[in-house]
Structure 1
């Protein structure tokens, strides 16, 4: 299964659905009548249908299982024995669960290179990673998921990034190796789950600082760089996240172009993108996409 639309467009639309869901919660959270209950159920059903249809058609082949995954929330008794207040509360809670599920779905997709970056990776190389390479991949993806402090399936991380497991329990073996190095905490349920420790987070950050970014792919043409900046700002505006700080930072970058070498331009771009992510003006996914537009490389976080 591969995402056939641009990730930034897909994420933007899902974010809009999340906002629509939150608006429904806000609108009906104080409802107390049978009529409002019926309206809430109908609105929730319509919202679910829109989300499911969009996600299903955004993938090749179509993501047919999403409807089950999306709506597979814990059951709530909506029977006639409940009072109207409780029935409304149950539907609201089910809606909140689905909103939370969408937010988590975006996080998991973002770290799944085979699904959203299939044209950017060497699948054969991924399939032939040695043990250390697989451990590094696990750590890198757990770093991207660090902030939510949840446990994430090692099996899903590997398979979502082009690494097939050959033996039952292999995910547990990788997890124990990393846990023994104090880089992750683990939990075992159906699959082995893991989350990065602070020591693991620090190790990844130090390793990434040591990486040398190749700025040679940056254009030597001032006009091309300015055109790229203009294109980025148009995309940001189209996505509805055009905070003034973004435009100010890129205006400064554009003004500095005549004075900068490729390397200096790339370093300044990287610094500004990091600052914008820290300020929550951009998310990591979009910042990485912007960096790639100029350098043909993914911005490391």
Structure 2
């Protein structure tokens, strides 16, 4: 269990719902605790753990109970979801510099994605949605090499399932992209 998980567990058990059930009180408690974290990623992880724990607690609580347990947990979920949405509105993930693409790599991959779309069109896979999926990859280089290639795998796998594009074609596309970037394993099904 990492520090964020320990903090979330302790906060959930001893502070979050300790005798309060108003939106103002719960939101105030959450916002105060978020000041302990400098990184937005840590805040999001913390809030997501609280969200999960609150849902679990609601499932375990008897449905026909008339206490204020469900009311406070519903208010808590609302406050937690608001905070998550608020942070997500300005937070963007940035990869560590060792995992970041260079401008040259981004440019080369951008061109290769265009070539992939053209090759799919030549092979008879002319569905616009396939090209939209491939174009979307161009806007996610900020994820870093590892995460971007995981996204590529997922998109190519989805394209294969949804549109019947042959596995060998998709594997070739993936390995062509991977050859352009160092420190990436050039196999499709790892």
- The verdict on a shared fold, with TM-score over 0.5 as the criterion, is no
**Normalising to structure 1: TM-score of the pair?**
0.26
Q: Tell me: higher relative CO, structure 1 or 2? Use CA pairs within 8 A at least 6 residues apart.
A: 2
- Report the structure, 1 or 2, having the larger strand content: 1
Q: Output the TM-score relative to the length of structure 2.
A: 0.40
Q: Which has the higher helix share?
A: 2
